[in-house]
Structure formats: C-alpha cells, structure tokens
A = this chain, B = another copy of it.
Amino acid sequence: MSKEVKAYGAKDSKADLEPMSIKRRDILKDDVEIDITYCGVCHSDIHSVHNDWGNAVYPMIPGHEIIGRVVSVGNDVSNFKEGQLVGVGCMVDSCQTCASCKDDLEQFCENGTTMTYGSKDKHMDDHTHGGYTTSIVVNKEFVLRIPENLEEKAVAPLLCAGITTFSPLNNWNVKKGDKVGVIGLGGLGHMGVKFADAMGAHVVMITTSPDKAEDAERLGADEVLISKDEDAMKEHAGSFDFILNTIPVGHKMDPYINLLKRDATMVLVGAVEPLDPFNGGGLIMGRKRIAGSLIGGIKETQEMLDFCGEHNIVSDVEMIDMKDINNAFERVMDSDVKYRFVIDMASLKN
C-alpha cells in the first residue's frame, strides 16, 4: 500500500542531504495525492536536520512549504480535483476533536499535531516525510487551495513564512493607520512587511543593517529604523501599536519594549531559545505585552492565501535545483538569500 518516491534527505544530524528513496502511502478515502512542483527552504528545516531541538528522527526528509498539483483524490474528497494548484504547510494531520482543533488551531492540537515531517505517521509504520520529494499524500483537511493568479513557485514560502507572520498581524487586529514595526528583514520579516503594508499599516522596518533600508522600502516599509541608532530609537519610543519580532535567536528585548505604546503588544515568532534578561518594569510602566505566535491554523492559512490572492502577495524567492540544497543551507545560515530559497522539484524528477 505504498510507492517508492525520490527524495533528498539526511541520514543523521551530521550528514549532508543526499538523494534517497522513501515510501509514500497510497491514498485513503480522505486523501489528496499531490505532485510536488516547488518546495521552500525554511530555516527550521536546517535546525531540524541538525537536531538543534533534540527531537529529530532520521532519515529525515525536510520541507514544509509545499506547492503542487492534485494527481488524484480519495473517494470521500469532493473539494479538490485533478490538476488543481494546492499547498501543504507545516502540518498534515491532527485529532480534529480537541478544543484547539475545534478552535481551528490545529498547531496546538492537544493530542499532538502531526507535523509534515518528523512526526509519527498515523497510517504507516514510519515517521512523516516532508516536501523535498516528488510526491506526497495528505489528508484533505490539511490541503490548501492556492489562488491561481499568484506566481506558483513564489507561493511556496507562504505556507510557513507567510502564515507565521500573517497570523499574529491578523490575530492582534492590525488595521489601517496602525504603526507597525517589523524587526528583522529575512524570510519571515520580508513577509511581515508585505502583509502589514497590505493591511494598511504604517510599516517601520526595524533592523541593525542600514544597507537593508532600500530593499525594505521596496517591499512596503514606510520607514526604516536602525536599531543601533540610539537617537532614532528614542524618537520612536512609545509610538508603536504593534511589533512583529522575527529575530530567530535570543536577543535584548528592552529596546524594543520601549518602542511600544501603552497596552501595545510585541509578538515573537522566531526566537524559540532563551531571551536575554529584560526589565519587568518595561512591561509594567505602560501595561505592555509580549506574546508568542506559532504558524497558524488551517482555516487561517487559507484566509492568508486568499488575502495573498486579493492583494497579489507572494514571497521574494531565489530558485535552486534539488542538488544545490546543501549550499543553500549554508547560505541560509549566512543570511545570504533574498528572501527564501525555493526548490524546483522538476530538478529531482529528471
């Protein structure tokens, strides 16, 4: 009840990615079979391969920014049809019955979300495998519709980088006229700028690098605030309605907390590691808030994609062939990509 498919994966945490073949399940009645055309390269793919979070299983096939075309559907699937452009993000299953799932927040499934790769597979004696492959079978509830007006290859990163930044802006009700800061101009930050701009906010890119100013403005930022410029930071103190913090590592938070208005929120989406000590008084004086946000549920991911269709938003991508993935990983670690690598999966098929 399975098929051998070509993939690229890691044998262990020290190994480069290399060609391998994996077993892909045959479709069940609620499944959609997808021919993968593109897959984005997320920084978390690298953390996972390197087992930075201690929960890796091998062989590992990364990839959770998957775009493709429907090849076939199970008997109980009526909302997808052959040839349709679809996407798969970070999740491929959840219990669908717990309070979080009922609240359309499958990423917090209380019985354990099945992540796109590295989770126990519910249907095979294996763990799940991600999108660095040619074909995937996914339960219909976790398949997203992609607006056909968007450039196919540039849609891939929306499935993780897109929803990760859209969800907090949406959830905290960012609206026209709000002054919104986006900290960090990388894969996440560049999407945050595009979304906040499309929502009508006055967008300020907050970065350590003056050389990113021009690009930030091209992406939709109204202003650029260089966080090392103490005078500029003082000028903007207490003025932000919302800050989206995409910094992927531990960092000093006091300077950014100081930028928030009374009752305003800074949401962390990148730093899953220990943050530098910060002053409790910074939150107390002004009743400010720090919160976290993790990708988004399937319903909100579809909303995000529909929003992208309306506003013609895609990611800025650099295309690579599958065989160049190890070099791409190096470049992601060096922040040397504008702003997301996408694998052209035709390069694996041929």
Interface residues of A (CB under 8 A from B): 100, 105, 108, 171, 250, 262, 265, 268-294
Contact = CB atoms under 8 A, between A and B. Distances in A.
A266 B286 CA distance: 15
A165 to B, nearest CB: 13
Given A262-B100, A274-B278, A275-B277, A294 B284 contact: yes
A274 B279 contact: yes
Contact of A286 (B273, B282, B292): B292
Nearest to A245: B280
A280 B287 contact: no
B280 A271 contact: yes
Given A284-B292, A290-B290, A279 B268 contact: no
A250 B277 contact: yes
Nearest to A108: B262
Contact of A291 (B278, B279, B283): B283
A280 B291 contact: no
Contacts of A273: 279-281
Contacts of A272: 279-281, 284-285
Copies in the complex: 2
A186 B4 CA distance: 65
Contacts of A269: 284
Nearest to A262: B108
Nearest to A164: B284
Contact of A287 (B274, B277, B294): B294
A179 to B, nearest CB: 14
A278 B293 CA distance: 16
A275 B279 CA distance: 6
Contacts of A282: 292
Contacts of A277: 250, 274-277
A236 to B, nearest CB: 16
14 contacts: A100-B262, A171-B287, A268-B280, A268-B283, A269-B284, A270-B280, A271-B281, A275-B277, A277-B277, A281-B292, A284-B293, A286-B292, A287-B291, A287-B292
A332 B272 CA distance: 38
A262 B108 CA distance: 8
A273 B283 CA distance: 10
A224 to B, nearest CB: 24
A289 B272 CA distance: 14
B292 A268 contact: no
Contacts of A278: 274-275
A287 B269 CA distance: 10
Contacts of A276: 277
